[in-house]
């Protein structure tokens, strides 16, 4: 079994969460807690199997079986503090291209405090990914954030994120990333219909200079309840556009790499009862790059059944 080193970022995040909770509440006991689980099983078809983290493209399509599982425990500490822990597991098993089977394990912890109408918090996340039965990467993320409702219809979230990723047998791609982001949600008709808009700046410093880049990421979306099928019958569309500027020459092409990435996600979720739901999804990606393996377009369709408890 692979041993994954717990780095200083992990210790820092956990220590800060515990210290903030204790300092804010003293010996007060938890006033309430909640445990939730969810899952999803289905099929998906991708007409061009790719792994963007390592710039791998097959120009081949395949069906895959997908499984998603998640669990979260949330506890209130005192009157203004919340501490939560979660775990997520995602898996896709290709019908033919087994070298592109994927597994992702994710764990997270978040401390959040209400400070006069502004929520401030700290989140730590860890991800471990496997590709084709072999370890692909492990990644740590630490993110302080604030959220606020300036009006009854507008919700704003701002965050800074530090990310540290290590790729197995690909040391040149190991990197540290600093990110700043802000997003807003405008409630057009309460939670029945709302729109979102966001911006993120990334500065990634990789082990090899050719993988260093700065990115500007723009996001927009709308989520609405359809006028039939109950309160959870929802349709959502999200659009993401990313501009990446690399800082050094990529040896394989003899020039500085330049990427533009467009992603469109569409999903429709239909409740069967209080526990079960069906979901249909579509994703379109159009990546433009002067690096041939990162220059592609693809379509992905998925459908399946899930539960929430």
Torsion of CA 272, 47, 197, 36, to 10 degrees: 40
Domain assignment present for residue 302? The answer is yes
The set of residues, in sequence order, having a beta carbon less than 8 Å from that of 27 and lying 6+ positions away, is: none
In the block, tokens 């400070």 appear at 115
| Residue 216: per-residue pLDDT | 98
Distance CA(287)–CA(180), nearest Å, equals 23
| Residue 117: per-residue pLDDT | 84
In the block, tokens 């399509």 appear at 61
| Residue 183: per-residue pLDDT | 98
The set of residues, in sequence order, having a beta carbon less than 8 Å from that of 178 and lying 6+ positions away, is: 160, 161, 162, 163, 202, 203
Distances from the Cα of 206 to the Cα of 8, 59, 86, 176, angstroms: 19, 27, 29, 6
How many domains does the chain fold into?
1
Give the distance from CA 85 to its chain's centroid: 16
Distances from the Cα of 270 to the Cα of 225, 275, 286, angstroms: 10, 11, 28
Ramachandran angles phi, psi of 152, nearest 5°: -65, -20
**What CATH number has the domain bearing residue 159?**
2.40.160.40
Q: In the 3-class helix/strand/coil scheme, how is 264-282 assigned residue by residue?
A: EEEEEEEECCCCEEEEEEE
pLDDT in tens, the chain (309 residues): 333 333 444 444 444 444 444 444 444 444 578 999 999 999 999 999 999 999 998 999 999 999 999 999 999 998 889 999 999 999 999 999 999 999 999 999 999 999 988 999 999 999 999 999 999 999 999 999 999 999 999 999 999 999 999 999 999 999 999 999 999 999 999 889 999 999 999 999 999 999 999 999 999 999 999 987 677 799 999 999 999 999 999 999 999 999 999 999 999 999 999 899 999 999 999 999 999 999 999 999 999 999 999
Distance CA(141)–CA(2), nearest Å, equals 20
| Residue 116: per-residue pLDDT | 85
Query: Is the distance from CB of 277 to CB of 270 less than 8 angstroms?
Result: yes
Characterize the bridge pairing of strands 134-148 and 30-46: unpaired
Domain assignment present for residue 170? The answer is yes
Domain assignment present for residue 2? The answer is no
In the block, tokens 């302080």 appear at 144
| Residue 229: per-residue pLDDT | 67
Parent domain of 206: 8-308
Both tokens assigned to 78: 């005192």
End-to-end CA distance of the chain: 32
Domain assignment present for residue 286? The answer is yes
Query: Is the distance from CB of 221 to CB of 240 less than 8 angstroms?
Result: no
Domain assignment present for residue 300? The answer is yes
- pTM for the predicted model, two decimal places: 0.88
Distances from the Cα of 307 to the Cα of 40, 41, 136, 262, 271, angstroms: 7, 9, 29, 30, 9
Domain assignment present for residue 3? The answer is no
Q: E-strand spans in the chain?
A: 30-46, 50-51, 56-57, 62-77, 81-94, 102-115, 118-131, 134-148, 154-167, 175-191, 193-206, 213-225, 234-250, 255-271, 276-289, 296-308
């Amino acid at each position: 079994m692979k041993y994954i080193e717990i780095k200083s970022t992990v210790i820092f995040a956990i220590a800060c969460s515990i210290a903030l909770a204790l300092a804010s509440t003293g010996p007060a006991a938890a006033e309430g807690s909640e445990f939730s689980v969810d899952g999803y099983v289905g099929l998906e078809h991708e007409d061009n199997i790719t792994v963007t983290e390592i710039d791998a493209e097959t120009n081949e399509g395949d069906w895959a079986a997908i499984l998603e599982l998640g669990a979260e425990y949330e506890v209130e500490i005192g009157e203004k503090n919340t501490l939560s822990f979660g775990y997520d597991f995602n898996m896709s098993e290709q019908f033919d291209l087994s070298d592109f089977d994927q597994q992702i394990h994710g764990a997270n912890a978040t401390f959040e405090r209400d400070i006069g109408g502004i929520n401030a918090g700290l989140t730590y996340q860890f991800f471990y990914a496997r590709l084709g039965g072999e370890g692909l990467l492990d990644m740590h993320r630490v993110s302080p954030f604030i959220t606020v409702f300036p009006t009854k219809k507008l919700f704003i979230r701002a965050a800074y994120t530090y990310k540290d990723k290590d790729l197995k047998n690909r040391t040149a791609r190991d990197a540290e990333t600093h990110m700043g982001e802000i997003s807003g949600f405008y409630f057009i008709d309460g939670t029945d219909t709302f729109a979102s808009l966001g911006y993120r700046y990334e500065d990634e410093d990789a082990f090899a200079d050719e993988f260093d880049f700065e990115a500007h990421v723009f996001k927009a979306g709308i989520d609405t309840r359809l006028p039939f099928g109950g309160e959870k019958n929802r349709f959502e569309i999200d659009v993401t556009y990313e501009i990446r500027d690399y800082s050094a020459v990529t040896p394989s092409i003899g020039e500085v790499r330049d990427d533009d990435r467009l992603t469109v996600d569409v999903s429709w979720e239909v409740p069967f009862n209080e526990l079960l739901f069906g979901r249909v999804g579509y994703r379109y990606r159009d990546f433009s790059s002067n690096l041939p393996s990162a220059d592609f377009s693809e379509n992905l369709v998925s459908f399946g059944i899930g539960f929430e408890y």
